[in-house]
Structures are given as C-alpha cells and as structure tokens.
C-alpha cells in the first residue's frame, strides 16, 4: 500500500503578518489568502523492516535510519520530518515502531514566500492520518501542523499557511489567541478568471530567511513600536477591504489595495524590503502594474502584481529583464487531499 497526499501553496492577498503572535493574540488578526496550482507532495510507503527512510527530491537529500522510536533532533537535519514523526508518536500514544519511507517534493523553493514549509507539513500530517486512521478533521490537521512547527520546533511564523493548505480556495481567516476562524469566500467564477488574467507572480530568484524578518516584526510589537503596530492595524483593515472588493467584483480596486498593503507591510520591519525588491516593484508600476506586494514575510521570494489588462504583456517583459521567473497565477479551490495507490 502507498499513501499519497498533496497540499496547495498560497498567495497572501491581504493582511499578511497579522496572524503572527503576539499581535494576533492581543489585537486579533485577519488575512485573505488564496491557494494556487503549486503543491507540496508527500508519498508514504509502510515498510516491514525496522527503518525510516526520508527522500526529499526537491532539495536532493536522502537519509535512512534503523530502529527508530523517537528521533534525536540535535543534529539539525530534516527537522520538519523528524518533528512530525515525534509528534505523531506522542500525540496519539503510538507504542509500536513506525517504519516507513517518506518521499517529498515541493513545487516552490524554501523561502519563496508561498508557505512551502508549512504546506509540506500539512501534506505529511495528512498522509500519516490516512495511513494510521487518525481522527483528524480540517481544523485538527491545520492546528497540529501549526503546533509542530511553532511549538515543538520553535520555528518563527504565523498561522495562515497551515490553514490555507488544509482548507484551500479563497478564504478570509481570523486569528485570535485561542482560536482560528476560516471563512470560505464564494467568489463568482468570472471574477476569478479575470483575476487570473490580471495577476502576475514574479520569482526574484532569491530566497529569504523568513524567521529573521518575523522575529524583527515580533520584537517591534513586543516593544510597542507605534509605527509597526499601526502598520499591522492598517494591514488588517485592508484584508476586510479586499474581501469586499472580491465578493463584489470590483477588481479594478485590487491594485490600490495591494499597493496600500505593500506600503503598510514595509512599515512593520526594515528587513521586509530592500533596494532590489524596490527597483523591481517600481519598474512594474511604471509600466502598467496598478499595485503589488511581496508574498510571505518579505525580503525576497515571490512578488505579485495586479496589472491593467492593456499592460499585462508589457509588464511581463519588463519583469523578465530582471532575470527572474514571470508566471501567470492560477487559483486552486481544494485543500489537502490524500489517496491510496498500489
């Protein structure tokens, strides 16, 4: 028996960063995101011999372990995969050895800003749930994935990625100290088609260490930086505005909202932008983009732009001159799925 799973990556359209503690705990956060046709894949093959084998095809790393009960995390290698194994054993009080081969692949590099690491955790947790018959609903999978990353492994970050990958589609999410509320949005199909035509995503060719940027953001909130907190208040309000615009089909307003989000986001922490990112952004705006922002924590990875329909190909050509990858955006309306193969 072979268990496979795939979970979609996401674009954060508005409110990014307000899902990070302590801001979300104290003020409540709000984010509007949408999943796209890029995925994290996991294949889990149960083994009879006392082995755990990890094969990470996207990053070219393979490891084999014998007689594993709980992983020692001290070597710092493949911490996500080991952390998931340890938490599954502990959370569900599994006494017998778990022997398996786990193969993974993510269609975006680490540090891309599309939530790749968290999406992979969701895919793996879902594969374990399918294999072991674990009683996990959508909220359970997302919360467990979040807890593994943020609590068990101490990785900096927010909450949106795990919930986006689990639920899929266009969602307006609210984040509080004790709960997350996912509100699926029923956006008319014609609006989604027009959004896909007018949106571009651009991979800068550089990844960034999101934890440093998020740590700076957390420090600013903890130290009661008025500038940073006000910027996050503005980002949260823009998430509500973006929801209204999408539901009503007022797509021409998206560019302005993305631009306002970008200005507010840069005020959260100095590390969010840099001269290269600013140059790319300004070139796109000068050639017909109505607005844009960086995806994820910032500093590099993917950028997104909403472009006037008459200028879409001109902006594509301008972005190509910077040497990165220009892509059209295709949205995906499902969350994580699992299936069995033989």
pTM: 0.93
**Per annotation, catalytic residue among 19, 58, 72, 161:** 161
Kindly calculate the radius of gyration of the chain based on its CA atoms and give it in whole angstroms: 20
Residue 312 has a pLDDT of: 96
Number of neighbours of residue 188 by Cβ within 10 angstroms: 12
Active-site residue, 19 included: no
Pairing of strands 51-56, 100-106: parallel
Residue 208 has a pLDDT of: 55
Tens digit of pLDDT at every position of the chain (342 positions) = 899 999 999 999 999 889 998 999 999 999 999 999 999 999 999 999 999 999 999 999 999 999 899 999 888 889 999 999 999 999 999 999 999 999 999 999 877 889 999 999 999 999 999 999 999 999 999 999 999 999 999 998 889 999 999 999 999 999 999 999 999 999 999 999 999 999 999 998 776 555 666 777 777 778 877 888 888 899 999 999 999 999 999 998 999 999 998 888 777 766 677 888 899 999 999 999 999 998 875 567 899 999 988 899 999 999 999 999 999 999 999 999 999 997
Query: Which residues of the chain are in CATH 3.30.230.10 domains?
Result: 2-186
CA–CA separation, 198 and 220 (whole Å): 35
Pairing of strands 325-328, 337-341: unpaired
Number of neighbours of residue 88 by Cβ within 10 angstroms: 20
Q: How many CA atoms lie within 13 A of 112 on its CB side?
A: 24
Residue 219 has a pLDDT of: 79
CB-based contact 168:29 (threshold 8 Å) = no
The CATH architecture one would assign to domain 189-328 is: 2-Layer Sandwich (3.30)
Phi-psi region of 151 (alpha: psi -120 to 50; beta: other; left: phi over 0): alpha
CATH fold, domain 2-186, is: Ribosomal Protein S5; domain 2 (3.30.230)
Residue 299 has a pLDDT of: 63
Query: Which residues of the chain are in CATH 3.30.70.890 domains?
Result: 189-328
**b/e string for 226-255 if b means 16 or more Cβ within 10 A?**
eebbebbebbbbbbebbbebbeeeebebbb
Print the SS3 string covering the chain: CEEEEEEEEEEEEECCCCCCCCHHHHHCEEEEEEEEEEEEEEEEEECCCCEEEEEECCCCEEEEEECCCCCCCCCCCCHHHHHHHHHHHHHCCCCCCCCEEEEEEECCCCCCCCCHHHHHHHHHHHHHHHHHCCCCCHHHHHHHHHHHHHHHCCCCCCCHHHHHHHHCCEEEEEECCCCEEEEECCCCHHHHHHHHHHEEEEECCCCCCHHHHHHHHHHHHHCCCHHHHHHHHHHHHHHHHHHHHHHHCCHHHHHHHHHHHHHHHHCCCHHHCCHHHHHHHHHHHHCCEEEEEECCCCCCCEEEEEECHHHHHHHHHHHHCCCCEEEECCECCCCCEEEEEC
């Amino acid at each position: 028996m072979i268990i496979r799973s795939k979970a979609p990556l996401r674009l954060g359209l508005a409110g990014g960063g307000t899902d990070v503690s302590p801001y979300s705990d104290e003020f409540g956060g709000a984010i509007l995101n949408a999943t796209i046709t890029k995925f994290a894949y996991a294949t889990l093959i149960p083994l009879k011999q006392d082995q755990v084998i990890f094969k990470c095809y996207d990053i070219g790393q393979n490891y084999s372990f014998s007689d594993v009960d709980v992983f020692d995390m001290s070597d710092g290698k493949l911490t996500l995969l080991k952390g998931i194994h340890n938490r599954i054993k502990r959370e569900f009080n599994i006494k017998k050895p778990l022997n398996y081969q786990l193969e993974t692949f993510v269609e975006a590099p680490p540090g891309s800003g599309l939530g790749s690491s968290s999406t992979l955790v969701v895919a793996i947790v879902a594969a374990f749930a399918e294999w072991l018959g674990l009683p996990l609903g959508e909220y359970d999978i997302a919360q467990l994935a979040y807890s593994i990353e943020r609590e068990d492994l101490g990785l900096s970050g927010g909450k949106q990625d795990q919930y986006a990958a689990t639920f899929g589609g266009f969602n307006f999410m609210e984040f509080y100290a004790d709960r997350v509320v996912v509100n699926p949005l029923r956006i008319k199909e014609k609006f989604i088609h027009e959004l896909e035509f007018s949106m571009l995503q651009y991979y800068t060719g550089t990844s960034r260490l999101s934890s440093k940027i998020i740590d700076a953001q957390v420090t600013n909130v903890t130290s009661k930086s008025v500038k940073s907190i006000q910027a996050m208040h503005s980002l949260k309000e823009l998430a509500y505005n973006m929801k209204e615009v999408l539901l009503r089909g007022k797509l021409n307003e998206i560019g302005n909202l993305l631009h306002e989000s970008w200005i507010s986001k840069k005020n959260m922490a100095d590390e969010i932008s840099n001269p290269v990112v600013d140059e790319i952004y300004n070139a796109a705006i000068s050639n017909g983009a109505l607005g844009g922002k960086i995806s994820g924590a910032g500093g590099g990875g993917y950028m997104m732009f909403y472009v006037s329909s008459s200028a879409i190909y001109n902006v594509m050509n301008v972005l190509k001159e910077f040497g990165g990858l220009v892509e059209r955006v295709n949205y995906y309306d499902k969350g994580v799925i699992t299936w069995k193969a033989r």
